[in-house]
Structure 1
Amino acid sequence: MHENPQPHAGLFLTFEGGDGSGKTTQARLAAQWLSDTYAHDALLTREPGGTELGQHIRQLLLHGDDMGPRAEALLYAADRSHHVHTVIRPALSLGRTVVCDRYFDSSIAYQGGGRTLTPKTIRDLSLWAVDGLIPDLTVLIDVPARVGAARREGEPDRLERAGDDFHDTTHATYRHLAEQEPERWVIVDGIGTIDEVAGRVRAALVDRLGARVTTRAQGRS
C-alpha cells in the first residue's frame, strides 16, 4: 500500500482523542483561528457523518444495534472512503485547509485497539479505503479515559457504553500511535480550560507546520 499516492495542494489536519477529550471543540476553534488569523480557507468536517450518506452510517454506528467488530470496521471504512472521495480530496485539490474531527486513527484506536481486531488490520483497511491519503499533521488531545468519561453529558452512545477497559485501551493505543509516528503526530495536553488547550493547539500548529500555516497571511488584504 502506497501512502499519499496523489499529492494535495491544501493542508490536511486531523484531530483525535477519546470521548470527552474536547477534540471536537478544539478542531472547530483551530479551523476558525486558521481562517481568521492566517487567511486559510478552512473546511471543518468530521467522521463519521461528514456527508449525507455518512449521517446515515453515523446513526447506525453510534445509535444502532450492537454489531460485530468486522461489520463496525467496514462501516467506518465505507463512511471514510466516501468522505475522502466527495469532500476531503476535492477541497485539498483546490488548496483549501481541511480540519477533520476524527480520521482513520480513530478506527485504529477504537476498532484496532479497543476491539478484537489488530491495529495493522484496521490501518491497512483504512488506507485502502482512502487511497492512501495521510494527514499532514494529527493533533491528539490527550486526556485520560476516566477524565473524559466524567466530562461526557447526555445519553451515552454505543461506543461510550463500551466500558472503562475499552476506553483505557483506546487511550493507550492513541498514545502508542503518536509515539510510533512522531513526525505526523503532536500530543497536546487536554487538561485545563478550553482557552488554555486552544492556546497549546495553536502553538503546536505554528511550531510543527511553520510556513505552511503562517505564509497564508500574505494573502490577506
Structure 2
Amino acid sequence: MLNGLFITIEGPDGAGKTTVMNELFPILQRTMKKEIIRTREPGGSQIAERIRKIILDPAHEEMDERTEALLYAAARRQHLIEVILPNLEKGNVILCDRFVDSSLAYQGSGRRIGVDKIAQINEFSTEGLSPDFTLYLDIDSDEGLRRIARNRSGQVDRLELEGLEFHQRVRHSYLKLAEANPERIHTINAKQGIQVVVDECFALIKETYPNFFEE
C-alpha cells in the first residue's frame, strides 16, 4: 500500500526546474512531517543514472527516436523499483525532477512518435503509477533556449541541442497535458523571478496537502 506523496516538477528546457528544486527541497525538508526524497529522471538509481548518460550524451547522434523512448522507459522502471515505490510504501514524500509527462512531451510530441504510443510504453514501465501532484513550470520555447545559452557553463545535452520547432512541440504538448489533467498538473509562470516561482510552488503543495506539514 502506497501511503506517501509523489510530487513531480516538469517543464521544457530552460524553465528552471533544477534551480527550483534546489530552492524548494530544503524548504519542504524543514516544514514537512515525513521524510522527503529528492530524485530525478532519467536517473535516480545507479543503473538508471548509467542509462541517463547514454541517452543524453551529445556524441550519440545516431540514436533512433524509439531507442531513446525505450531507454527512458527502462531507466524509469529501475528508478521506480529501487527508489520511488519503496519510499512511497514507507509513507515518505518523493520530489522528482521529471516523470512520464516528460516522455509524453519530448518523445511523444517532440520526436513525433505519438503520445499514445509513448503512454503505452510507460504504462508497462510504471504499471500505471502516476504522480499525485505535478508542478509544471511554463516558459516560451525561445526564452528557454536563450536561458540555456546564457546560463549553461557546461556541455548541453542531446535534447537541448534540438532546434526551436522541437522545443515548441514539447511545450505545446505540456500545455495540452496540463489542460487535460487540471487536478494533478498545476501551471506556474516560469518567467517570474525564482523566489516568486519557489513561493508559488510551496504554497500550492501546502494548500493541497496540509496534513503532510507541521502545524
One fold, TM greater than 0.5? yes
**When the two structures are superposed, what TM-score results if normalisation uses the length of structure 1?**
0.90
**When the two structures are superposed, what TM-score results if normalisation uses the length of structure 2?**
0.93
Question: Please, which of 110, 115, 138 is the counterpart of residue 111 of structure 2?
Answer: 115
| Change in CA separation of 1:167 and 1:124 when aligned onto 2, cut-off 3 Å | same
- 1:45 Cα offset (Å): 0.1
Deviates more, 1:9-18 or 1:152-161: 152-161
The answer on whether the counterparts of 2:33 and 2:212 sit within 8 Å (CA) in structure 1 is no
RMSD: 1.3
Instruction: Give the equivalent residue in structure 2 for 1:99.
Output: 95
Instruction: Give the equivalent residue in structure 2 for 1:40.
Output: 34
- 1:201 Cα offset (Å): 0.8
Correspondence list, 1:136-215, <5 A: 136-152=132-148, 153-154=152-153, 155-207=155-207, 209-214=208-213
5+ residue gaps, structure 2, are none
Q: Percent identity?
A: 37
5+ residue gaps, structure 1, are 1-6
2:93 maps to 1:65:
no
Mapped partners of 1:127, 1:25: distance in 2: 29
| Change in CA separation of 1:87 and 1:210 when aligned onto 2, cut-off 3 Å | closer
Amino acid aligned to 1:75: L
The answer on whether the counterparts of 1:47 and 1:103 sit within 8 Å (CA) in structure 2 is yes
Mapped partners of 1:178, 1:212: distance in 2: 25
Deviates more, 1:115-124 or 1:171-180: 115-124
2:12 maps to 1:18:
yes
- 1:40 Cα offset (Å): 3.1
The answer on whether the counterparts of 2:34 and 2:91 sit within 8 Å (CA) in structure 1 is no
Mapped partners of 2:124, 2:167: distance in 1: 26
- 1:33 Cα offset (Å): 1.4
- Matched residue SS, 2:143: helix
Mapped partners of 1:102, 1:57: distance in 2: 15
2:126 maps to 1:130:
yes
- 1:27 Cα offset (Å): 2.5
Instruction: Give the equivalent residue in structure 2 for 1:3.
Output: none
- Matched residue SS, 2:60: coil
| Partner deviation per Cα, 1:53-95 (whole Å, 9 max, x = no partner) | 1121111111141211110000000000000001000011111
